[in-house]
Structure 1
């Protein structure tokens, strides 16, 4: 079976100095991609080229209807608000916005009303998370339209988000971790990947980049890709003995989760592998992101403070840490809380030795307003 190219449309050539370079070509459209194949700059240029090919007939002011949805999207892509986003975030946002753009490209932005937004979102009612993500992007687009003086209000803000059940990505529990490691033994890539993410709290996009170069003084140090545009949050995590045992077996000249060729693995590729590994372990509800939450859960159950957990996971706000630690062992914490109440200091009477008057139930009906 023919292997699918990682970057379809990208071809190599040699410039007049004999240096190998890459360009994107498709349907008469061409764009330079640089000389470092697979680098962050290469990926950014490639995504811009693919998007430029898809929308080349729309972006030009002479080809796009003035004040239309298509023109608004094109201008937003070039705005500081959008360009300041991490490349991975830009890619996600484009995937959402482009579908909306294709359906409403020539419609005038100034005529959009709340009822129109509600109708658009209602079409995604069966997938409330997707509907809410679209709503967020529409709010951003309409806010941007206000800055352009195209309109004076934001109809998307007047809508309400859909109620979403559950707590987002499933948090791995200890039984699930044991079940996974029972199937994927030490020495396998699956075991290494899960151990790495479990003991560092690293997201997929960061985990694939980690390697011996990130180890300093017994710690793994890196800056989160998601926050690189704003300087990047420095994460410095002491290496747990269980993780150290796994890392000691790995080559020292390549990333921890490298491909067979020794090159850095893509975050998407790791995600696909994780899906296969969890299915093999009969854990389809588990994911790579759930390991990040499991790391936070473990820290919370060990008594770590929200600030301490945030230092490991790289979260900027305590509210985000709270979301990640909601799955902490509530039952165990409840047991601990009641035990503290039973064994109150200063010789106070405990719950197991209450006076009889608090135990007896009064069967006589009370008089007064309470019985009305």
Structure 2
């Protein structure tokens, strides 16, 4: 394993380190501050993540004993209280993991600091340390806003200084949206009948996120449609996604057994979202598509819909986004040239190039009619 690969593991799950057992099998262990817990052999799997979160909780619980008890009113005490609040408990498990991954490093650095003394300049200085990675700084800012909102609700302080800071400008457009050439290249390398071909086809024609794609199966087929509820919104009942099944997707799914998920493992068990993400990474590397990721397929689905002329509301019905702003973020990669052509086709209403004045406001229509009359007299 290369040095960069080891650092990636440590960054994603701080405290997790690999080792070989007496049989030479690779295993993972959590170690921090004298606390140790076994994480299993399947790095990034659902079982691994559950064990890792239990280890984090065990380490925190151990730190609350005796002299190391969390100081009242401290950042650490605020984080502990936030974890028991409805705002956190009502989140999907996958979202909780993401939040913890941002909050815990902050807690480790500033856990002993009194919450009531935190000022805007302190928040700005904390965020400035991540200025070279503006997206990470903005994610931390969002979590600090939540934490300090929670502090206000507890009457630990009267205001929220994090809300008065400004987000950093992010030049990157986020996850790369697959273009048509990249999609074609992937399918050149990964032929029909392979798991790679099936997985990418499924996500490309449903717009499903990894966490939803791994759970889709024959039970989600309702006639000529695929229906499912997004896990990310499961706590609030889940947004129902109901979309027509594309012929390409129907042909890929038709030969599959009817008693297991579409992307099941070789043993027929459900695949983890992390496992699918890692697999897509390997498949893309094999196809020499280093910029492509599983999340980029969700954006590619939205892009295709936008280029086909779908409205933001129509696209949101497929992707399950709650706001049009998020839909716009996902469709920024839509072909602007094609959209410009479509816009001008709507602007030009008559074959001879004259604009249809019927659709113009009256004051403009009147002046246009006058110009036409003068032209006819010439």
TM-score by length of 1: 0.80
> 1:94-133 maps to which residues of 2 (within 5 A)?
94-133=100-139
Q: Does 1:259 align with 2:265?
A: yes
Question: Of residues 240, 243, 262 in structure 1, which corresponds to 2:246?
Answer: 240
Runs of 5+ consecutive residues of structure 1 not aligned to the other structure: 10-25, 31-37, 351-372
Mapped to 1, the partners of 2:318 and 2:65 lie a distance apart of 46
Mapped to 2, the partners of 1:340 and 1:314 lie a distance apart of 28
Cα shift at 1:44: 8.5
1:313 maps to what in 2? Answer: 319
Cα shift at 1:216: 1.7
Q: Does 1:65 align with 2:71?
A: yes
1:226 maps to what in 2? Answer: 232
Mapped to 1, the partners of 2:285 and 2:103 lie a distance apart of 32
2:61 maps to what in 1? Answer: 56
CA contact (8 A) 2:230 2:240 kept: yes
> 1:184-333 maps to which residues of 2 (within 5 A)?
184-333=190-339
Mapped to 2, the partners of 1:195 and 1:176 lie a distance apart of 13
Question: Of residues 123, 148, 154 in structure 2, which corresponds to 1:148?
Answer: 154
CA RMSD, Structure 1 to Structure 2 (Å): 2.6
Mapped to 2, the partners of 1:290 and 1:211 lie a distance apart of 22
1:87 maps to what in 2? Answer: 93
Mapped to 2, the partners of 1:57 and 1:253 lie a distance apart of 44
Cα shift at 1:349: 4.7
Mapped to 1, the partners of 2:262 and 2:36 lie a distance apart of 41
Q: Deviations over 1:289-336 (max 9, x none)?
A: 111111111112222222221111112222222221222111112123
Mapped to 2, the partners of 1:28 and 1:179 lie a distance apart of 45
Cα shift at 1:233: 0.7
2:372 maps to what in 1? Answer: none
Question: Of residues 125, 133, 142 in structure 2, which corresponds to 1:136?
Answer: 142
TM-score by length of 2: 0.79
CA contact (8 A) 2:45 2:275 kept: no
Q: Deviations over 1:192-227 (max 9, x none)?
A: 110000000100000001111211212211110000
Cα shift at 1:156: 1.2
Task: Count residues with an aligned counterpart.
Answer: 324
1:365 maps to what in 2? Answer: none
Q: Between Structure 1 and Structure 2, which shows a larger proportion of helix residues? A: 2
Query: Could you say what secondary structure the match of 1:246 adopts?
Result: helix
Cα shift at 1:339: 4.7
CA contact (8 A) 1:198 1:294 kept: yes
Identify if the C-alpha distance between structure 1 residues 58 and 255 changes in structure 2 by more than 3 Å, giving closer, same or farther.
same
Runs of 5+ consecutive residues of structure 2 not aligned to the other structure: 1-19, 39-43, 356-378
Query: Could you say what secondary structure the match of 2:243 adopts?
Result: strand
Cα shift at 1:50: 2.0
Mapped to 2, the partners of 1:107 and 1:235 lie a distance apart of 45
Mapped to 1, the partners of 2:300 and 2:189 lie a distance apart of 19
1:76 maps to what in 2? Answer: 82
> Which shifted more, 132-141 or 304-313?
304-313
